[in-house]
Structure 1
Amino acid sequence: MSFDNAYESLVEGHEEKHWAFGTGFTHALSGVDRAISSTVDRDDLAAYCLMLGDDALVYAQRLAEWCAKAPELEEDVALANIALDLLGQARMLLSRAGEIQGTDEDALAYLRDSSEFRNVHLAEIDCGPGPGGDFATTMARLLVFSAWRLALLHRLTGSADPVLAAVAAKGVKELTYHRDHAAQWVLRLAGGTDYSRERMVAGLAVVWPHLDELFTAHPIEHRLAEAGVAVDPAELRSEVDSVLDTVLGAAGLTRPDVASVPGGGRGGVHTEAMAPLLAEMQVVARALPGGVW
């Protein structure tokens, strides 16, 4: 494939011709029905959008840390694209929450402190590329996170809230790729050298203690699930377990024999990894309040 100039290669395949240069963006919810049913509690809906949006935003930030540090150039691109998929989901969900709360997606992303975020701990723990983890751990987390989120979004395609349904409809296609990409790497690492298998086993042991939190429902999730808006995460367990067991079985691996750790992310209680993550993600916005370019 050839292009007359570098610009054409950057925008090839993208409807928005300015995407690579940070201009020309439309509202994240442009073209989406944003009506809120009178039977839905607006505060609960905003809080739920924050939960799902924070999961995507924080995990996108973690994946972005691998840029130029992955074991292959192709994997640099793959992880960056997965991060961008999640960032797109986060934009829509935080925009929805912001509309209800009278703020916007940027303020929610960059001007909240750790205790105001509602993401699960799995999204924030440090799996690398720094001293806190490695690539195998990152693939273990991607497998668990994407299997869980795919099951969740698949059910949300039938949500009574049009924004959640729209995010889910697009997200299931993205998460299917994310899950399959992670599964391929788990198989590759487990079936490679003795060392790569050792790292894969160790990576699963790091991730596994955070599994139970994914299926622990917050009261808001319970209330909105009864209204047909949200999903009770406990209902996802059997499907996600089946996916994980299938991948581990194919890789000749077993579930790690490790104890669960307390969650609390949905209530604003986070791990020690969260504050440094936010400090890096928010530094420009906080240093230059209101700055645009």
Structure 2
Amino acid sequence: MNDEDLHAHHDDTRWAFGTGFTDPLHGMDQAVPDGVDAEALADCCLALADDALVCAQRLAEWCTRAPELEEELALANIGLDLLGQARLLYARTGRADGTGRGEDAYAYFRDAADFRNVRLAELPGGDFAFTIVRLLVLSTWRLALCEALTSAPDPVLAAVAAKSVKELAYHRRYAAEWTVRLGDGTPESRRRVEAALDSIGPWLPELLTDRTPAQLGAAPAVVAHRTWSALTEALEAAGLDRTWEDLHDPAPRAAVAGSGRDGDHTEHLAPLLTELQSVARAHPSATW
């Protein structure tokens, strides 16, 4: 099975995940293979799906607010890519955890404490520079994860990861190009990028020590190395006199102790979910 199989069962190729079906993995063999820890698989898929959903919701906040129409469309499309990844991963979670729940149950009918996304994803959007630097960090890290998971022992997860790699490579390139433009631009744009780096730095350890996908082939040390290398290259290209190591020293790290993977979130997640889930919860019997 490969990422092309994800499209093979849907005739309308204009849409990334097809149309006219309720299960994004419809037609695929969804049995958990022998030898694969179903609980570990469910935990991994749920965490990565939550990351994607929350990131997509934050990017959606830029609709009508981006500095240019072209950037508004770019951010919206990146958000749609992430939403598609979340759909696939939630569908896989429902089979792996044995509940058979659909994607809507995970997205709309869980409270903040039940979400397992990294906390960097849920922070308020801030200015455009913050959004770009956060996108650079999250897409670089998620790309490293998905590259490792293309060899996962679960063929469905491996196929989802392979499809996601193509999308995430674009997300990272887009964010890196904007980081260079802002960092090597005016004094004000550079100041804003540096402020974004300072804000994001303390949240980096949560990403780079994440062991949730480890049993599926994404060793934290390998993911961290790939992430550091790519982020360092972006900072150097932007002419920023910073290293990522400078941005997560022990002092600020202690201020953000805990992990979203354990359900320990900031006060910003609940309001975001309230907005995301309001219509579905008002009409729980509807199909979205």
Look up the SS of the partner of 1:30 in the other structure: coil
Looking at structure 1, the residues matched to 11 and 74 of structure 2 have their Cα atoms a distance apart, in angstroms, of 20
In the alignment, is residue 168 of structure 1 matched against residue 172 of structure 2? Answer: no
C-alpha displacement of 1:18: 8.5
Looking at structure 1, the residues matched to 247 and 38 of structure 2 have their Cα atoms a distance apart, in angstroms, of 41
C-alpha displacement of 1:23: 6.1
Looking at structure 1, the residues matched to 169 and 271 of structure 2 have their Cα atoms a distance apart, in angstroms, of 30
Looking at structure 1, the residues matched to 167 and 27 of structure 2 have their Cα atoms a distance apart, in angstroms, of 20
TM-score of the superposed pair, with normalisation by structure 1: 0.86
Looking at structure 2, the residues matched to 243 and 143 of structure 1 have their Cα atoms a distance apart, in angstroms, of 10
Larger mean CA deviation between 240-249 and 230-239 belongs to 230-239
Partners of 1:214 and 1:233 within 8 A in 2: no
In the alignment, is residue 267 of structure 1 matched against residue 267 of structure 2? Answer: no
- 1:205-284 matches, cutoff 5 A: 205-218=198-211, 221-222=213-214, 225=215, 229-253=216-240, 254-255=242-243, 257=247, 259-260=252-253, 261-284=256-279
Instruction: Kindly provide the amino acid, as one letter, of the partner of residue 201 in structure 1.
Output: E
Looking at structure 1, the residues matched to 81 and 269 of structure 2 have their Cα atoms a distance apart, in angstroms, of 21
2:91 aligns to what? 95
In structure 1, stretches of 5+ residues that fail to align are 1-13, 128-132
Looking at structure 2, the residues matched to 17 and 231 of structure 1 have their Cα atoms a distance apart, in angstroms, of 31
Looking at structure 2, the residues matched to 66 and 155 of structure 1 have their Cα atoms a distance apart, in angstroms, of 31
Looking at structure 2, the residues matched to 257 and 88 of structure 1 have their Cα atoms a distance apart, in angstroms, of 32
Cα displacement string for residues 268-293 of structure 1 (whole angstroms, at most 9, x for unaligned residues): 11011100110000000111111136
Partners of 1:32 and 1:166 within 8 A in 2: no
Q: CA RMSD in A?
A: 2.1
Query: 32, 37, 54: which is aligned to 1:36?
Result: 32
C-alpha displacement of 1:17: 7.3
**Number of aligned pairs?**
268
Partners of 2:12 and 2:19 within 8 A in 1: no
Look up the SS of the partner of 2:284 in the other structure: coil
Cα displacement string for residues 15-57 of structure 1 (whole angstroms, at most 9, x for unaligned residues): 637959x962452112433221222222222121101111111
1:153/1:17 CA distance change after superposition, 3 Å: closer
Partners of 2:50 and 2:115 within 8 A in 1: yes
In the alignment, is residue 56 of structure 1 matched against residue 52 of structure 2? Answer: yes
Looking at structure 2, the residues matched to 157 and 18 of structure 1 have their Cα atoms a distance apart, in angstroms, of 25
Look up the SS of the partner of 1:101 in the other structure: coil
Instruction: Kindly provide the amino acid, as one letter, of the partner of residue 108 in structure 1.
Output: Y
1:257/1:149 CA distance change after superposition, 3 Å: closer
1:230/1:263 CA distance change after superposition, 3 Å: farther
C-alpha displacement of 1:170: 0.6
Cα displacement string for residues 223-260 of structure 1 (whole angstroms, at most 9, x for unaligned residues): xx2xxx24132321111111111110111111354522
C-alpha displacement of 1:203: 1.0
Looking at structure 1, the residues matched to 143 and 119 of structure 2 have their Cα atoms a distance apart, in angstroms, of 17
Instruction: Kindly provide the amino acid, as one letter, of the partner of residue 235 in structure 1.
Output: V
Instruction: Kindly provide the amino acid, as one letter, of the partner of residue 120 in structure 2.
Output: L
